[in-house]
A and B are shown apart, each in its own frame.
Chain A
Amino acid sequence: MTADTWAIARFTVLMALTATALALPPAVAAGWLLARRSFPGKTLVETVVSLPLVLPPVATGLLLLWLFGRRSPVGKALDAAGIEIIFTWKAVVIAMMVVSFPLIARTVRAGIEQVDRRFEDIAATLGAGPFRVFRTVTLPLAARGIIAGAILGFSRALGEFGATIMVAGAIPGRTQTLAVGIYTFVETGREQAAWGLLAVSALLAFAAIYASNRIVDRAERA
């Protein structure tokens, strides 16, 4: 395996970790909202949250390309502020965040739904306000679901291809991730290098799924 392989692996893991860390707080908030609150338009919110799960990632990438391009209001504002997104590492993180967000939010939601609501009721009778109830009761009791969601989101981010190649391209040393790297190496006839990336990808995927299963097993035994 070449130094290139390791550099790409390191970059991908770093981007996936950043994306997961950034997607986690809003995904936990969305999961809690869907698990514990009823409000008008809830089904619509549920659908929008899950959309990136079923939309082809390339299509998601196209939407992001438009959103952060110079023709959209968001892109214009960023451009005026001197912030460049498209074809930078930031685009890699955003693409990963968008595709992993629904997986994290759905897993967190399932985890929170498993927490007996009466624990939250009791905490309220003991004088805890809604935020303290969430922080000291809901969150710790749903911890396994939240960790499982984070691992699932991280795994999805590691393998992200379609949206990434649309908004970040495949610039060696700048935006090239494992999945994108495998594709471009095969395209350019560097099959051996592609196999190296495949090996690293398999190793990382194995580790993530193994960790996730361990958490689920421990939750079942507890």
Chain B
Amino acid sequence: MIALTLAVTMRQEEFTLAIDQSASVEVLGLFGPSGSGKTSLLEAIAGIRRPDTGEIRINDRVLFSSSAGVDLRPRERHIGYVPQDALLFPHLDVEQNIRYGERSDAPPDLFGSLTGILELDPLLARRVRHLSGGEKQRVAIARALMTRPTVLLLDEPLAAVDRARRERILPYVLRIRRDLHVPLVYVTHDASELTAIADRVLRLDQGRVVAAGTPAETVGSPSHTLTTGE
């Protein structure tokens, strides 16, 4: 469980993203159509993009505050970020990618347990370009989790995966929550994914929160349901 405060404004090309939300959650879903500001918000939390004004706080730790002049660098934030296209380092193999952010104080069994949970052991020696979309996502998730982040940001992890495989990947995401107790911020424009995993959802449109609450309150009942194998 984390306490997350997102109170920022950020000028975008077509609108200004303006969010003012606080929530204590295990999985926070960000829901909305393409271009509604979901990815920009994740990048602001990760420290890759700088908001114009406002404050970002996780468990009383201020990551960004325009009034206090705080803007922690990405490497000081301890946040795992998995972008939509995974962005695995193309010059490294799977194991080297996963170990890139390994900390010297990491428990010795962390690598083994992550590759076990995400079923990556058969892929470790592979070149990144030989992986499927779903495999890339799992490697990127493992790479982010190796840094032992306080929260994991997932940007449409299932977008590059066809529907049949989605039902096989979603359980991995649930295992992160259940076995590793890592809180998630989960971006998607698919209501069924949120119904399966989120406990609170912010519904965004044109940079504004148009609804906040449980998945049922915010995204309604999805037209289809995903089985998660749980």
Contacts and interface: CB of A to CB of B under 8 A. Distances in A.
Contacts of A33: none
B38 interface: no
Contacts of A119: 87, 89
Given A118-B83, A118-B87, A141-B90, A123 B100 contact: yes
A140 B91 contact: yes
B129 to A, nearest CB: 9
A126 B75 CA distance: 6
Chain B CB count within 10 A is highest, among A125, A127, A136, for A125
B89 A125 contact: no
User: For the complex, would chain B's binding face be called helix, strand, loop or mixed by DSSP majority?
Assistant: loop
Contacts of B83: 118, 122
A151 to B, nearest CB: 20
Interface centre among A126, A137, A141 (most CB of B within 10 A): A126
Contacts of B144: 125-126
B79 interface: yes
Nearest to A137: B89
B207 interface: no
B74 interface: yes
A6 to B, nearest CB: 40
Contact of B87 (A122, A136, A140): A122
Interface string B45-83: 011100000000000000000000000011101011101
A125 B87 contact: no
Interface in B170-195: none
Contacts of B90: 141
Interface string A116-135: 10110111111111000000
A128 B91 contact: no
A128 B87 CA distance: 16
B100 A126 contact: yes
Interface in A60-98: none
A125 B46 contact: yes
B151 to A, nearest CB: 12
B74 A121 contact: yes
A123 B81 CA distance: 10
A119 B81 CA distance: 12
Interface string B94-124: 0000001101000000000000000000000
B100 A125 contact: no
Contact of A122 (B73, B77, B81, B103): B81
A124 B47 CA distance: 9
A126 B73 contact: no
10 contacts: A121-B48, A121-B74, A124-B75, A125-B80, A125-B81, A125-B144, A126-B146, A127-B75, A141-B90, A141-B91
Across chains A and B, which 10 residue pairs bring their CB atoms closest together, nearest first? Answer: A126-B101, A124-B74, A125-B74, A121-B48, A140-B91, A125-B81, A127-B75, A127-B101, A122-B87, A125-B46
Given A122-B81, A125-B47, A128-B75, 13 more contacts: A116-B87, A119-B89, A122-B83, A124-B47, A125-B80, A125-B144, A126-B147, A127-B75, A127-B147, A128-B101, A129-B75, A140-B91, A141-B90
Interface of B: 46-48, 73-75, 77, 79-81, 83, 87, 89-91, 100-101, 103, 143-144, 146-147
